[in-house]
Amino acid sequence: MAPQALGPTVETTAFTLTSISTIVVATRFYCRYYVVGAIKIYDLVMLAALICTWGICTINVYQIRFGTGRHMEDQPSGDPTVLLEGTLKTWYVYQLAYLVDLSLVKFSILVFYRSIAARKVFRYVVDTTIGVVAAFTVAMVFVNAFECPKPSDAWSVEILFQGSGSCIDLHPLYYGQAAFNILSDVVILTLPIPVLMRLQMHKNKRLALVGIFSIGFIAVVASTIRVYALHVWATGTDTPYNAAYILVWSQIEINAAIVSASIPSLKPLFRHTFGGTTRNTTANYYSGRSGGSKPIGSATSAAVALKSLPSSATMTSSHTHKLYPVFGNESDEKLFCKKLTNTKGESDDDVESQRTRDQGPS
């Protein structure tokens, strides 16, 4: 008798990786709410992606119950028609959930990019990418959902064997979807690199960023391997067994993307590793949820969130301090402020000139 083979592998991979993603996202929300003091729209989008990932895990379990991961000669006992119809139904739901899940992860990352975009060119590129991903996702969900004039025909065993009806052959479309996912993953992964390259960072911080991008690169590799799994599944004769590889690599792809996109939000827990980019004169405290001052650890001239202070506030002390957005605009995510210390009685014009030099051209 042929071994049961890949069923347990699919379930173990799905639940292990999704559990890891859940821990990371839960920690992300803890940091965002209790440390930073604000949960943003891109955090909620990532939460939706995680919920969708758990939905895919559940679908995977049903796919295994209907024989996915087993060889053709080792299918579960029972009515073959019922098993096949169950397989077709779960695959129908899976292909839609997979598209939605991946798009939610991409949207979360892109909306975050947009919230910290300082330059119009970068924001335009991000907006364009969001539009392309949204249009592609809507189109693919529509085509997959209505591959047959009557959606229920997609899991009709009679239509499958008799070749009746007018359902679309989705195999070529799967390759197109996979190619787009790989391309969009690479684009999203590399979008912030030009900005990061201009920052002055210590070696340990650069290594931390390399680690984050490496996890993101795993998602790209998994997506690429999934293309080969699709090819084996579409051209082979042991369809139920080969389909399991698609499920495994899909889980690796999705969860690697969720984890790599969420790790930067854990910065408050690892401030000494992910701290600022330089060590110029900066404020050492920021306003927390309670309105009091909290230490920020190592000084940073890049970005310290001051949620409760206006960006143009003037602080009264033995010196004059002016707060302004480092990155050039005042969106919610970028109330990042830098302290200029007027130790020599400079005029407001001198201070403004210093601000202009620090910001650079917009």
pLDDT in tens, the chain (362 residues): 445 679 999 999 999 999 999 999 999 999 999 888 889 999 999 999 999 999 999 999 999 999 999 988 888 887 888 888 999 999 999 999 999 999 999 999 999 988 887 788 989 999 999 999 999 999 999 999 999 888 888 898 888 776 666 788 888 899 999 999 999 999 998 888 877 777 776 766 666 676 677 778 889 999 999 999 999 999 988 989 999 999 999 999 999 999 999 988 888 777 644 555 444 434 344 444 444 444 444 333 333 333 334 444 444 444 444 333 333 333 444 433 333 334 444 444 454 445 444 545 44
Whether the CB-CB separation of 211 and 238 falls below 8 Å is answered with: no
**Which pLDDT score is estimated for 317?**
42
The residue behind tokens 């969130």 is 305
Which residues, 6+ apart, have CB-to-CB distance to 8 below 8 Å?
69
**Which pLDDT score is estimated for 64?**
93
Closest by Cα among 168, 138, 140 to 154: 168
The class (CATH top level) of 7-273 is mainly alpha
The residue behind tokens 């042929």 is 2
For the beta carbon of residue 19, count every other beta carbon within 10 angstroms: 13
The residue behind tokens 């210590």 is 202
Hey, is 318 helix, strand or coil? Answer: coil
What are the angstrom distances between the C-alpha of 272 and each of 164, 203, 207, 279?
A: 64, 12, 13, 13
The residue behind tokens 């650069």 is 206
Query: Which residues on adjacent β-strands are paired with residue 341?
Result: 321
Which residues, 6+ apart, have CB-to-CB distance to 210 below 8 Å?
none
**Which pLDDT score is estimated for 37?**
87
Domain limits, the chain: 7-273, 277-359
**Which pLDDT score is estimated for 351?**
45
Closest by Cα among 278, 270, 230, 236 to 250: 230
- Copy the structure tokens of residue 128: 């364009």
**Which pLDDT score is estimated for 24?**
96
Amino acid at 326: V
What are the angstrom distances between the C-alpha of 357 and each of 35, 52, 140, 262, 280?
A: 31, 46, 47, 33, 15
